[in-house]
Amino acid sequence: MTAVGILRAHGGGHDGPGGIAVKFYLFGSLSGQKRRARDIDLVVELDDGEEVDTAMAAVASIGPRVRKPIELWLSHNESQPNLAGNYDFRSGRWAFWRRPGLPGFFRGLEPVSLDHVVRLALAVGPYGPNRRGGSPEVGASPDCTVERGPDGWGYRLKGAAGGPYEGPLEAAAAAEAAAKASGQLGPIAVLWFSLR
């Protein structure tokens, strides 16, 4: 499946039917309540009609309270290629990249509320050093905003704009391609963007 196909599988940014609550699952060091857990790893399983921007807004809302980097995996099917992203609470920016499917990954993961994630994060102590040595730097990315407009999603990148697109991640993917084409972003770098 192509990256565009993955993005389309994750929805087009419209409100889910009846305001269905998105389901989050916790994994990684915070799930074991290890002291000084460095970051928070969440999976969101998106059912038909549940949209990416709903999950992203919910995660961003807890960022200032947990004060740790948050990694969010977006998945409709654990065996299929999916997307993962990091949320940087200090800058309010996101970066997403493709991940291979991991069959059996959801086995044993317990559903968790975001309020419970906040309580766990506060219990394990302050933010420690980032465990991912190769993590992208937020400051190395050009300023980019992805937002919903009357006709769909669009992006603003250093005075340039693009859209409309079906969803926020499609707009972000187009912005990343434009940043790389214009030399604002290196060929293997990821674009950090603000969601409005």
Looking at the structure, tell me whether residues 20 and 111 fall in a common domain.
yes
Q: Give CA–CA dist 61/96, Å, rounded.
A: 18
Instruction: Check residue 25 and give its pLDDT.
Output: 82
Cβ proximity of 41 and 117 under 8 Å: no
Q: List CB contacts of 193: < 8 A, sequence separation 6 or more.
A: 93, 94, 95, 141, 144, 145, 146, 155, 172, 175
CA distance 183 to 115: 41
User: For residue 129, how many other CB atoms are within 10 A of its CB?
Assistant: 7
Query: 81 and 148: one domain?
Result: no
For 84, the domain range is 3-124
State the Cα–Cα distance between residues 156 and 183, nearest whole angstrom: 16
pLDDT at res. 131 = 41
Is residue 104 located within the same domain as residue 31?
yes
- Please tell me whether residues 77 and 115 are part of one structural domain: yes
Q: What is the pLDDT of residues 149-194, one digit of tens each?
A: 999 999 999 878 999 998 898 999 999 999 999 999 988 888 999 9
Specify if 133 maps to a domain: no
For residues 113 and 151, membership in a common domain is answered with: no
Where does a domain end: 124, 151, 182? 124
Provide the pLDDT for residue 38: 64
pLDDT at 49: 65
pLDDT at 154: 96
Domain count, the chain: 2
- Residue 130 domain-assigned (yes or no): no
Weakly modelled stretches of the chain, pLDDT under 50: 1-20, 34-35, 127-134
pLDDT above 90 covers what percent of the chain?
23
pTM for the whole structure: 0.73
What is the predicted pLDDT for the residue at 98? Answer: 82
Same domain (yes/no): 143, 182:
yes
